[in-house]
């Protein structure tokens, strides 16, 4: 009887040790992935030009020089986003679908963090009323995890605008809607049959917003939609959405 008990205890110890080693390895690999992702994105930040007023006289449809170095690395890069007091200072990529960059960085290397990427239906030269940009909500605060800050009223009030650049334009983006939803709500609609449908869409997203702002948004305006997962709301279909009106800077 005692021998059987000792055998059982040894087996239990071995199992617990195996679980501990596996868990430790998994955590270690996750932390390594976070570190590597930050290093890769830090490199991108050194390559972006952040020019101001340098391209006012350039020909329409020509790519801004601020993207020259980045596009030598990957010509899928179509924009840049910078949100103050968050980790969001990233290149925006675009593929022929919305799956490729879910698990690849801007160097096209595999990574759990994926990239910040634009909906394949959008075109930065011929802009749709609604440009949609996606990013994962990583546990280390990277990628679009910083969007969760906008659920806090104080942060929202102090960070109403952010920088959004494309290959051809620079914008000040003024946030007018923040809300949690599911994929059942078609907030990622990019084009509309007519101005009436677009007006109805704008009314719907403003109604869903947890903040009622005084920002005037009409069918004459272009908007930017930032989307990330919201696992608390719904494990698979929950989304956190931040939407902004675009104002051309240069």
Catalytic residues: 229
**DSSP structural state of residue 234:** -
Q: How many CB atoms lie within 10 A of CB 40?
A: 15
- Decide if 226 contacts 241 (C-beta within 8 A): yes
3-state secondary structure of 6: helix
Distance CA 101, CA 111 (A): 9
Q: Which residues on adjacent β-strands are paired with residue 141?
A: none
Beta bridge pairs of residue 93 = 77, 117
Judge contact between 37 and 109, C-beta under 8 A: no
Question: Which residues, listed in sequence order, are joined to residue 179 by a DSSP beta bridge?
Answer: 241
Q: What are phi and psi of 238, to 5 degrees?
A: -75, 145
CA distances from 96 to 46, 81, 118, 208, 223 (A): 27, 20, 10, 30, 22
Measured CA to CA, the distance from residue 144 to residue 147 in angstroms comes to 6
Among residues 196, 138, 172, 193, the alpha carbon closest in space to that of 246 is found at: 172
């Amino acid at each position: 009887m005692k021998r059987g008990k000792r055998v059982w205890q040894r087996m239990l110890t071995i199992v617990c040790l195996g679980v501990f080693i596996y868990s430790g390895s998994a955590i270690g690999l996750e932390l390594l992935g976070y570190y590597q992702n930050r290093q890769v994105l830090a490199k991108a930040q050194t390559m972006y030009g952040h020019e101001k007023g340098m391209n006012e006289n350039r020909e329409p449809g020509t790519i801004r020089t601020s993207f020259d170095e980045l596009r030598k690395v990957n010509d899928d890069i179509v924009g840049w986003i910078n949100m103050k007091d968050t980790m969001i200072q990233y290149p925006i990529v675009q593929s022929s679908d919305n799956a490729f960059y879910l698990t690849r960085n801007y160097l096209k290397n595999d990574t759990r963090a994926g990239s910040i990427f634009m909906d394949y239906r959008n075109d930065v030269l011929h802009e749709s009323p609604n440009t949609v940009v996606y990013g994962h909500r990583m546990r280390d605060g990277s990628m679009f995890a910083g969007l969760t800050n906008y659920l806090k009223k104080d942060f929202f009030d102090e960070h109403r605008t952010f920088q959004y650049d494309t290959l051809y334009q620079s914008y000040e983006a003024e946030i007018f809607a923040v809300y949690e939803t599911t994929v059942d709500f078609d907030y990622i609609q990019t084009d509309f049959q007519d101005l009436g449908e677009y007006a109805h869409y704008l009314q719907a997203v403003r109604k869903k917003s947890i903040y009622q702002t005084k920002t005037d948004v009409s069918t004459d305006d272009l908007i930017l939609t930032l989307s990330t997962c919201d696992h608390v709301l719904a494990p698979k279909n929950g989304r956190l959405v931040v939407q902004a009106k675009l104002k051309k800077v240069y």
